Amino acid sequence: MMSLKERYKTEIAPQLAKELGKKNVFEVPTVSCISVSVGIPAANKDQKLFEVVDNALARITGQKAIKTKAKKSISGFKIRQGLEIGMCVTLRGRRMWDFLDKLINVTLPRVRDFRGIPVKSLDRQGNISLGFRECLPFPEVRSDEVEKVHGLEVTIVTSTKDREEGRALLKALGFPFKKD
C-alpha cells in the first residue's frame, strides 16, 4: 500500500495540475506544515496537567511539544506576560505526511457524530483548522489512561493562494467535506 506522500506525487499532483490548469507539476499546491496545539487555562497552575498534555502530544505526533507563553498581559483572563498558556508541535516532512494520513483515515472516522468538515473551516489562503473537543479519537491515546480530557487544534498549512485551490487539494487528499 502506498503512503499518502507517494500517492500525492504519483496520482494526486498530476490530476490537480490538469484540474487547476497548471502547466507544471511543481506549480501544484501542497501541504507545507501541520501545527498541533493545546491551550491550557491560565487559572490552572497545575504542572501535572502540562505533563499529561505533553505526553499526549508526544504520542499523537511522535515529537516533543514546546510550551507557549503569553505575549502580553490580559487582566480579564488573569494572564500575565510570559505565563505558560499552552503547548504546540509543528510537523514537517515525513512526520507531517504520516500524521496527515492517520488524521484522514483513522482519526476523523473515530470522531463522535462526525458529519464532515465544514467548508467554512478553510481560510482565504486555503489553510484549514480542525478543533477536537477531546484527544480520544487519536488511536495512540487510550481512554483508560486519560485522567483529564483536553481538546486540541490541528492547523494544516498549504501552499495555495486561495480558498478554492485549498479545497481542491484537501479534497484530492481525501478530506471529507460536508455536502453543499
What is the mean pLDDT of the segment spanning 80-93? 87
> Is the Cα dihedral 6, 11, 12, 16 positive or negative?
positive
- Distance CA(158)–CA(125), nearest Å, equals 8
Tens of pLDDT along 17-48?
A: 998 888 888 888 999 999 999 888 755 667 77
What's the pTM? 0.86
53 near 151, Cβ under 8 Å?
no
Q: Can you name the CATH fold of 31-173?
A: 50s Ribosomal Protein L5; Chain: A, (3.30.1440)
Share of the chain above pLDDT 70, in %: 94
